[in-house]
Amino acid sequence: GQQVMQIPQYQHVQEGEDFTTYCNSSTTLSNIQWYKQRPGGHPVFLIQLVKSGEVKKQKRLTFQFGEAKKNSSLHITATQTTDVGTYFCADPTGNQFYFGTGTSLTVIP
């Protein structure tokens, strides 16, 4: 299967600080998806990016797809305690979803 790596694995931030997680694929992706999983919960779909260089925003969240379509990032501005959880990118190629390794975000009040 595909190799989708994310960095960092863990991130602790003070509330109000920014946060970024990076997703890197060993191959060119057709699309990329992002999910959030709260502690004890199940993954929840956030967004799908399709185009090279695409940037999408959802309130304080900014998603970007690399020009070569081999990497992506999720940036959260001014984190809040509700942002706590693990963020996964996923490669939905051929409806076989390969999830990245995930970044666990802890927000310190």
Partner 1 sequence: SAVISQKPSRDICQRGTSLTIQCQVDSQVTMMFWYRQQPGQSLTLIATANQGSEATYESGFVIDKFPISRPNLTFSTLTVSNMSPEDSSIYLCSALAGGYEQFFGPGTRLTVL
Applying CB under 8 A, the residues found at the interface with partner 1 are 1, 31, 33, 35, 41-45, 48, 88, 90, 92, 95-102, 104
Task: Kindly compute the dihedral angle of the four CA atoms of residues 24, 31, 65, 69, in this order, to the nearest 10 degrees.
Answer: 60
Instruction: Provide the token pair at 70.
Output: 């081999």
Torsions phi, psi for 95 (to 5 deg): 60, 25
- The pair phi, psi for residue 71, each rounded to 5°, is -150, 160
Instruction: Please identify, using beta-carbon distances, which residue of 17 and 99 lies nearer to partner 1.
Output: 99
State which residue, 77 or 98, has the beta carbon closest to partner 1: 98
Q: CB 84 → partner 1: shortest distance, Å?
A: 14
Q: How far is the CB of 36 from partner 1 (least distance, A)?
A: 11
